[in-house]
Amino acid sequence: MLGTASPTSNNSHEWLASIHFDTAEKFLEYISPTQLQWLSPSGINGSWIFRGQYNSDWNLTPSAMRSEKLTDFKKLERPVLEKSVFDLYSNRQTNLNFQYICDWLVQTAAEELALEEFVRMADHVGHLIPTGHQFLLADSGYSPEIWTDKVRQYFVSLDQGYANLDMFRLTPTTIERALAQHHGIPTRLLDWTYSSFAAAYFAAEEAVLALAGHQHNVPLRIAVFALRRSAIDDWHKEGDPRSESLKYIEHRRGSLEYLRAQHGLFVFDAGADKHFLNQGQWRTFEEVLFYKFGNAASETIQKITLPVDQSFQLLRLLAAFGVTRAHLMPSLDTVKDTLEIDRILKNQFDGSYHP
């Protein structure tokens, strides 16, 4: 699902090309897949990929780096991992910051546990879990003993002159992570789509539900980000683990229903861990693009925005193209959700429905 969580706001990316529209009609016309600027020579998969976000001020940051769902685990396990790190760190000469190492280890351990719990429970109740060759159910996830041993291996690699991060399973390329991401588990993947209309739908839907529910702190504008696909690397072709760029991953769409319906793919930051160990903070995707392209980064990404109150009209227009929650996330439950959203729209435009 695209753009439903809450990244940190940061308006410091002055280089980012922002295009603002005042009406849903003009917004939809601009992002239409038939516009020449979005088309590829073949016309099958476009030259651009898209992501919708409910708040135009939010950065492009994966859910694992901003989710409160991992907080309890971090509080519980941090003392255990801190002791493991201290026992190994105190006798070594290293430029790495002790606090950064601890924060990073707790973060990665929390991510692994969240994925393991999801896959195990789904498998336990009988759901069909597509498995990637990198994921072994019996040997995955987190335990204090396993992670302490991994910490030891990591410091051995430092003694040998390089930082080996492979044992932490930090590359989010498995299809299990894609499945977990689509069901709300925090991962390092960021959902994107070849469909600009699908991206617009997810941004507008969250806005409509917030406005209909009279939520406080509703943003002024929603956004669809457009990213030139050639600006990022294909993981399958550029799989160097030492790379520090953004990479995209495309799983077979037939393996995941949501992926097929949304024309989806995922993007992740291959240099996130190295950056955190050096700087003590996770970088945004915008920062990665600017680091790689400088001011020319503005040619690789656009942010297209719309006033939040135009979200009702935008959903109505998208429905005319067959773009609804029921179409993008096929299930009987989302048919029910779509009918509820339809009632909200009826109430907005003709006042015929009063919940």
State how far the Cα of 67 lies from the Cα of 49, in Å rounded to an integer: 24
Q: Where are the alpha helices (DSSP H) in the chain?
A: 24-31, 71-89, 98-124, 144-159, 175-182, 196-212, 257-262, 272-279, 285-293, 311-320, 325-328, 332-349
Q: Which residue has the higher pLDDT, 5 or 142?
A: 142
Which has the higher per-residue pLDDT, 43 or 320? Answer: 320
Report pLDDT digits (tens) over 67-102. Answer: 787 888 888 888 888 888 888 777 776 677 888 888
Q: Return the pLDDT at 143.
A: 76
Other Cβ atoms less than 10 A from the Cβ of 141: the count is: 19
The answer on pLDDT for 1 being more than 60 is: no
Distance of CA 260 to the CA centre of its chain: 17
SS3 233: strand
Give kind and range of the element (H or E) at residue 234.
Answer: strand 233-234
pTM of the model: 0.87
Q: How far apart are CA 216 and CA 140, in angstroms?
A: 41
Interval 254-296: pLDDT, tens: 778 888 999 999 999 988 988 998 899 999 999 999 988 888 8
Q: What is the dihedral of CA 333, 338, 344, 347, to 10 degrees?
A: -120
Rounded Cα distance between 114 and 162, Å, is 29
pLDDT band, very low/low/confident/very high, at 354 (cuts 50, 70, 90):
very low
Helix axis angle for 71-89 and 144-159, nearest 10°, is 40
What does the DSSP assignment read for 293-349?
HGGGGGGTEEEEEEEGGGHHHHHHHHHHTT-SHHHHS-SHHHHHHHHHHHHHHHHHH
